[in-house]
Amino acid sequence: MRSILDRYAPAPAYDEFADALGRPRAHYAALAATLDGISWADFRHRVTTVNTVLLQRGVTFTVYADARGTERILPFDLIPRIIAAHDWDRIARGVAQRVRALNAFLLDVYGEGRILRDRVVPRELVFSSPHYEREAIGVRPPRDVYVHVSGIDLIRDADGAFLVLEDNARTPSGISYVLENRDVLKRAFPRLFDGYDPRPVDDYPLRLRDALLAAAPPQVTEPTIALLTPGIHNSAYFEHTLLARRMGVELVEGNDLFVRDNVVYAKTTRGPQRIDVLYRRVDDDFMDPLYFRADSTLGAAGIFNAYRAGNVTLANAIGTGVADDKAVYPYVPAMIRYYLGEEPALQNVPTFDCSDDVQRAHVLARLPELVVKRTTASGGYGMLMGPASTTAERAAFADAIRARPREFIAQPVVTLSAHPTVVEDGLAPRHIDLRPFALLVGDHVDVPPAALTRVALREGSLVVNSSQGGGSKDTWVLAD
């Protein structure tokens, strides 16, 4: 019998599974032993079963280009990613620290502006951010919480050190894959768990609900939470239904809401129901046609006034996008020192801010070695991968950088760590990242051991986004 591990050759990057000599790392040893006893044919069979289960459950996203609205599942890789307890401790500490700093930053830039006055973060950088909402200046959200939910994307460099690649402080998605991946893997392949006791992920929705309840307007005694979704055509709609169901809260669309006397209500069969906390998966721009985009039907007219009057908690608060602006990202370590007086537990990837003359000159001279990102883009779009780019592509980016420097940052290519992943004929290393989620509960940050591992399924690819051919893995955080 040919074991599926037989032909695994570690990647020329930090290999999560194998050490420099090709031996399984200590926390992967039990998994390696289990995999050794599984034939490739058996494994293939499990893959098929799992895909059928995911389709039946409707863990799908819609392919918009297809007129029939074909639904696809996000590729789920059956080989779990394992995180040792001591690594997770550091991650959780670093993420919590970062989120506290980001929240303090938001409170500051929409309030006193101390960090700008002290020139720790350039004033013009904040004011020129497309996500800096002028309407939100001076509006203090209930209990001073801005980023109730965030996702911090981490990667691992060649030495195995965890680095922050970017912050997601608006509406990070992906937690449904964490919950479903674990559930499906436990059913389809319980044998893989032999010798492991990963920390459970399924209490995430209740922890989220706790965070939302804690953020309710102080004058409300029994708050009603609702989850606002853009609707069934949104690619994360499945996640919205899952979270609403598991939290036991109403899933509402913009048309279900109306605002009267600065109070938000849902239209129900028994009349209006007051809503106190809205976990909204709708961007700022679409929340209120009276203040933001006038053509939006995804939010409700008057909702911003209700928010300003302190009658409804919006999670996340209006204007958090300035904190995850890619051009602000290089300053987060400075924010941590400034607000918390602590050294960052997780480092940034070295980043050049193209709006700075010196740094821009450096970037333009070294385009073939760098990754250039648009500060306004996400999802793996609008990037220049220097080493893989053509002369024409580099010229186009150079022109764009000179014309609108504020819209670009550049970073050296960081080779993401690699992990055994199922491919056509066995297991091969593929690059991965990690998105832990953080919940801000009052001034305490809860980092549940429920993190998303995304994997770039194409050989050599460093882009893990689902829109760019990425998949996901079950992620086991080990207890001590």
Partner 1 sequence: MLSRVAESLFWTARNVERAEDLARLIDVTATRSVDRAVDADRRWRSAFGVAGIEPPFDRRVDRASAVEHIVFGVETQLSIAACVRIARRNAIGVRAELTTEVWECINGLYLFVEAHSPRAVGPDGASTFLRSIRDTAQAFGGLCDATLAHDDAWEFLRLGRFLERAAMTARVLREIEPDAGPHVWELVLEVCCASGPFARARQQSFEPNEALAFLALSATFPRSLRFCLHEVDHALHRLSGAPVGTFADGAERTSGRIAASLDFAGANDLAREGTANFAARIARSLDDLGSAVTEVYFPRVPVG
Q: How far apart are CA 132 and CA 142, in angstroms?
A: 19
Complex with partner 1: residue 25 or 57, whichever CB lies closer: 57
3-state SS, one letter per residue, for 99-164 = HHHHHHHHHHHCCCCHHHHCCCCCHHHHHCCCCCCHHHCCCCCHHHCCCCEEEEEEEECCCCCEEE
From the CB of residue 118, how many other CB atoms can be counted at a distance below 10 Å? 9
| Residue 23 lies near partner 1 (rule: CB under 8 A) | no
Q: Which two tokens stand for residue 308?
A: 């300003």
Contact between 288 and 295 (Cβ < 8 Å): no
| Binder among 160, 191, 268, 388 for partner 1 (CB under 8 A) | 268
Chain Cα centroid distance, residue 242:
17
Q: How far apart are CA 134 and CA 131, in angstroms?
A: 9
Q: Which stretch binds partner 1 (CB under 8 A): 85-93, 214-222, 259-267, 379-387?
A: 259-267
Q: How far apart are CA 17 and CA 461, in angstroms?
A: 18
Q: Which stretch binds partner 1 (CB under 8 A): 7-15, 28-36, 155-163, 229-237?
A: 229-237
- HSE of 130 in the Cβ direction (CA atoms, 13 Å)? 9
Beta bridge partners of 429: 420
Least distance (Å) between residue 50 CB and partner 1: 15
Complex with partner 1: residue 268 or 467, whichever CB lies closer: 268
| Residue 282 lies near partner 1 (rule: CB under 8 A) | no
Q: How many chain residues are in contact with partner 1, going by CB under 8 A?
A: 30
Least distance (Å) between residue 133 CB and partner 1: 27
Q: How far apart are CA 228 and CA 401, in angstroms?
A: 37
Complex with partner 1: residue 238 or 307, whichever CB lies closer: 238
Q: Using omega within 30 degrees of 0 as the cis cutoff, is the peptide bond preceding 316 cis?
A: yes
Least distance (Å) between residue 76 CB and partner 1: 17
| Residue 237 lies near partner 1 (rule: CB under 8 A) | yes
Complex with partner 1: residue 272 or 382, whichever CB lies closer: 272
From the CB of residue 443, how many other CB atoms can be counted at a distance below 10 Å? 11
Beta bridge partners of 250: 226
| Binder among 3, 128, 241, 468 for partner 1 (CB under 8 A) | 241
Query: 130-189: which residues touch partner 1 (CB under 8 A)?
Result: none
Complex with partner 1: residue 241 or 347, whichever CB lies closer: 241
Q: What are the DSSP calls for 366-403, one per residue?
A: TGGGEEEEETT--TT-SEEEGGG--HHHHHHHHHHHHH
Query: 300-359: which residues touch partner 1 (CB under 8 A)?
Result: none
| Residue 272 lies near partner 1 (rule: CB under 8 A) | yes
Complex with partner 1: residue 39 or 268, whichever CB lies closer: 268
| Residue 256 lies near partner 1 (rule: CB under 8 A) | yes
Query: 42-81: which residues touch partner 1 (CB under 8 A)?
Result: 55-58
**CA proximity to 179, closest of 471, 468, 472:** 472
| Residue 39 lies near partner 1 (rule: CB under 8 A) | no
| Binder among 72, 267, 366, 402 for partner 1 (CB under 8 A) | 267
Report strand pairing: 149-156 vs 162-168: antiparallel
Q: Which stretch binds partner 1 (CB under 8 A): 100-108, 166-174, 238-246, 392-400?
A: 238-246
| Residue 479 lies near partner 1 (rule: CB under 8 A) | no
Beta bridge partners of 24: 18
| Binder among 218, 271, 294, 357 for partner 1 (CB under 8 A) | 271
| Residue 262 lies near partner 1 (rule: CB under 8 A) | no
| Residue 269 lies near partner 1 (rule: CB under 8 A) | yes
Which residue's structure tokens are 């009349």? 271
Least distance (Å) between residue 264 CB and partner 1: 11
Q: Which stretch binds partner 1 (CB under 8 A): 139-147, 168-176, 242-250, 346-354?
A: 242-250
Q: What is the dihedral of CA 343, 109, 138, 340, to 10 degrees?
A: 10
Q: Which residues here bind partner 1, judged by CB under 8 A?
A: 55-58, 227, 231-232, 237-238, 240-242, 244-245, 250-253, 255-256, 258, 260, 265-272
